[in-house]
Amino acid sequence: EDYTHNVGTHDRCGTTVEPLIKKQWFVKMDELIKPAVKAVKEEDIQLIPKRMEKIYFNWTDNIRDWCISRQLWWGHRIPAYYCSKCGETVVAASMPEKCPVCGGTHFSQDPDTLDTWFSSALWPFSTLGWPEMTEDLKYFYPTDVLVTGYDIIFFWVIRMIFSGFEQMGEKPFKTVLFHGLVRDELGRK
């Protein structure tokens, strides 16, 4: 019998997207977002034009935990390792030598990669030598102005702000200047 149903398709190439239910990695956002909200409310960070604050606060006021895992074959790998002996998950900068639970020494790394905006959010300080406190990092962080398109306010700008507060203890920039976008006759960037 024929039936009608929706089939997901890729927004650029139109190929069928088949979902696969899988456990994901999330970043808890409720506390992480607070300094980013405070900085803009108290005008420690200025958004130009000011009307961008409405979009900013709409996103921050409705924040949800951030799914940072992606099932892609390229990108920064999730820094989680599974003990082959007992299955314990160890989150670490590099593969552990020994399992803290059973003492096992064989691990496999999680195959997922980080959301591209996760590593992009680290840009204001990671490009300056962080986690080391380099001369460039001391001199250029925080910077004065970030100039960017309005379309990535929550993908990039807000994430750079909360990441800056979390990792560096201060805002990444004083002002964000949003500009328009160049589009073709169909409205595409």
Task: Enumerate the H helices of 94-183 as residue ranges.
Answer: 116-120, 123-126, 135-140, 158-168
Confidence label for 3 from pLDDT (cuts 50, 70 and 90): confident
What's the pTM value of the predicted model, to 2 decimals?
Answer: 0.87
CB proximity list for 105: less than 8 A, separation 6 or greater? 97, 98, 99
Burial 124-152 (b: 16+ CB within 10 A, else e): bbeebebeeeeeebeeebeeeebeeebee
Indicate the average pLDDT of the chain.
Answer: 96
pLDDT category at 105 given cuts 50, 70, 90 is very high
pLDDT at 45 (0 to 100): 99
pLDDT at 63: 96
pLDDT tens digits for range 147-180: 999 999 999 999 999 999 999 999 999 999 999 9
Residue 145 contacts residue 172 (beta carbons within 8 Å): no
pLDDT number for residue 71:
93
Question: How many C-beta neighbours within 10 Å does residue 163 have?
Answer: 23
Q: How many CB atoms lie within 10 A of CB 15?
A: 9
What confidence tier does 18 reach under pLDDT thresholds 50, 70, 90? confident
In what helix (H) or strand (E) does residue 18 lie, and over which residues does it extend?
none
Compute the distance between CA of residue 16 and CA of residue 7 in angstroms, rounded to an integer.
7
Amino acid (one-letter) located at 89? T
Contacts of 6 (CB under 8 A, 6+ apart): none
Instruction: Taking residues 111-138, report their average pLDDT.
Output: 97
pLDDT tens-digit map of 29-53 = 999 999 999 999 999 999 999 999 9
What integer pLDDT is reported at residue 20 of this predicted model?
82
Residue type, 127: T
Domain assignments of the chain as residue spans, ordered by start: 26-73+114-179, 78-111
First to last CA, the chain: 42
